[in-house]
C-alpha cells in the first residue's frame, strides 16, 4: 500500500516538474537537467551511475533479498519549440520547450524513487531507474542499453503523459494495452540534385524543384497502392527547402520526412520504396538524388502478460474505471521500443487532458501543458508495479 504515500508527495512532484520545465534541454547533452536529477537522487540517498556518452543517469536500488530485476524509465529531453503557454514557470531557454511532458516523466519517477527507496529491505530483487536523454531523436534508449542498463532485466515499464492516445480518455485514466501500441518512427532525407540556371531559360538547366514536386506526389502512392489497407503506414514530408531567388532555378532541393509503421516488414518496405521511387523519378527528369534513412525506433509492442500485470497492479489501487483496456495503437513513436526488445514489459499512457485547464493541446505544440493534479498517479503506478513485481 506504499502507493498512498505518493499522494503526500503531490506538491513536491509538481514543484520538481516546474523546476525541470524551466530548464529544457535538447538531445544528448542535458547538463542542467542531469544536475537537478542527481541532486534529488543524492537527497534520497540512492546510488547511481552517470553515463560518459550522454547525460543519462541510472539509479539502482538493491532490495533486501535476491530476486528479479525491474527497470522503470523516464525520458528527460525537450524540443526546439518556443513556448507559448504563459505559465509562470515557462522555459527560460529561448527556442526550447518541454512540449511533450518529459519534465513530468522525470518528476514522477523521482517521486516513485522517494517512496520506494525507504522500503527497499521489504522487497526482493533490484530496481533500476533510467533517466534517459534523446527520446525525441530515438537515440537515447540505445545508450542506456549500451551502458548495461538492461543486462539481466526481467521486466521494464514506462509511462507517457498527455493526450497521446485519445482526447476522450478521461483525465487521470491510465491506458495499458497489450500488443502494438505505437509505431516505428524513422527520418528520411532526400537531396535532389539538378542543374541551376536562369528562370527565363529553364531548358538550359535541370529543375530540382520540379523533380522534388514529382517525388513528393509519387511517394504518396506507396501507401495508397502498395500497402494493404489493413496494415498501418505513414509517409509524411515535413520539410522542403530549395531556391533563393524568384528568377533563378536552384541546383538542389532538400526534403526531409518521417515514416511510421506498426509492423517491421512494413517499416522496411517503406524505406526501400522511398529510395527506389525518389531515384527513378529524379533520373526520369535528368537529375539525381542522395537518399539517407536515419533509422529511429521500431514499433512499441507491449508484452501481453506484462501489460495485463500492470493493468492488475494499477486497477488494485485506482479501481476498474481508471484503467482502459481498449486496443488503440497510434502512429506516434517512442524509443522505449528498444527496451522491449531486450525484456518483456509495457509502456503506459496517463491521460492529462482537461479542457477547463487548457491542457488539451496536442504534443509538440507551443501551448502544450498537462494537468498537474494527476502527477501523483504516475508515481503511484510505478510504485504499485514495483511492489507487486518484487514482493
Query: Which residues contribute to the annotated binding site?
Result: 100, 102, 136, 160, 364
Q: Which residues are annotated as a binding site for Mn(2+)?
A: 100, 102, 136, 160, 364
Strands 179-193 and 233-242, bridge-based pairing: unpaired
Strands 57-62 and 48-50, bridge-based pairing: antiparallel
CA distance 3 to 317: 8
Strands 233-242 and 48-50, bridge-based pairing: unpaired
In contact, 155 and 70? CB cutoff 8 Å: yes
In contact, 117 and 46? CB cutoff 8 Å: yes
Strands 65-75 and 155-162, bridge-based pairing: parallel
Q: How many CA atoms lie within 13 A of 193 on its CB side?
A: 5
Looking up cell 544528448 gives: 28
CA distances from 13 to 69, 82, 105, 216, 376 (A): 25, 24, 10, 46, 7
Residue 376 parent element (H or E): helix 375-390
Amino acid at each position: 500500500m506504499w502507493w498512498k504515500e505518493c499522494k503526500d508527495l503531490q506538491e513536491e512532484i509538481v514543484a520538481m516538474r516546474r523546476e525541470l520545465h524551466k530548464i529544457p534541454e535538447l538531445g544528448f547533452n542535458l547538463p542542467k537537467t542531469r544536475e537537478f536529477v542527481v541532486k534529488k537522487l543524492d537527497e534520497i540517498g540512492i546510488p547511481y551511475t552517470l553515463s560518459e556518452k550522454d547525460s543519462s543517469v541510472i539509479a539502482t536500488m538493491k532490495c533486501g533479498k535476491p530476486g528479479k530485476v525491474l527497470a522503470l524509465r523516464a525520458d528527460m529531453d525537450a524540443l526546439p519549440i518556443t513556448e507559448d503557454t504563459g505559465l509562470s514557470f515557462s522555459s527560460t531557454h529561448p527556442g526550447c520547450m518541454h512540449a511533450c511532458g518529459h519534465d513530468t516523466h522525470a518528476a514522477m519517477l523521482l517521486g516513485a524513487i522517494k517512496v520506494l527507496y525507504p522500503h527497499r529491505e521489504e522487497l526482493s530483487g533490484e530496481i533500476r531507474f533510467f533517466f534517459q536523454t534523446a527520446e525525441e531523436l530515438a537515440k537515447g534508449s540505445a545508450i542506456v542499453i549500451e551502458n548495461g542498463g538492461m543486462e539481466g532485466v526481467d521486466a521494464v515499464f514506462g509511462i507517457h503523459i498527455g493526450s497521446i492516445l485519445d482526447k476522450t480518455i478521461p483525465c487521470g485514466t491510465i491506458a495499458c494495452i497489450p500488443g502494438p501500441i505505437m509505431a516505428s518512427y524513422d527520418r528520411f532525407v532526400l537531396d535532389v540534385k539538378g542543374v541551376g540556371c536562369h528562370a527565363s531559360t529553364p531548358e538550359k538547366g535541370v529543375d530540382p524543384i520540379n523533380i522534388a514536386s514529382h517525388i513528393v506526389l509519387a511517394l504518396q502512392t506507396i501507401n495508397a497502392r502498395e500497402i494493404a489497407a489493413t496494415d498501418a503506414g505513414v509517409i509524411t514530408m515535413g520539410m522542403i527547402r530549395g531556391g533563393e531567388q524568384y528568377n533563378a532555378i536552384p541546383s538542389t532541393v532538400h526534403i526531409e520526412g518521417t515514416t511510421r509503421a506498426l509492423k517491421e516488414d512494413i517499416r522496411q518496405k517503406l524505406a526501400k520504396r522511398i529510395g527506389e521511387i525518389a531515384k527513378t523519378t529524379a533520373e526520369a527528369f535528368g537529375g539525381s538524388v542522395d537518399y539517407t534513412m536515419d533509422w529511429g525506433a521500431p514499433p512499441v509492442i507491449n508484452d501481453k502478460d506484462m501489460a495485463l500485470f500492470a493493468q492488475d497492479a494499477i486497477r488494485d489501487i485506482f479501481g476498474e474505471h481508471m484503467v482502459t483496456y481498449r486496443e488503440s495503437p497510434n502512429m506516434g513513436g517512442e524509443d522505449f521500443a528498444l527496451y522491449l526488445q531486450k525484456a518483456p514489459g509495457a509502456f503506459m499512457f496517463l491521460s492529462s487532458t482537461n479542457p477547463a485547464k487548457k491542457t488539451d493541446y496536442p504534443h509538440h505544440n507551443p501551448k502544450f501543458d498537462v494537468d498537474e493534479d494527476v502527477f501523483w498517479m504516475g508515481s503511484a503506478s510505478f510504485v504499485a508495479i514495483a511492489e507487486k513485481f518484487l514482493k
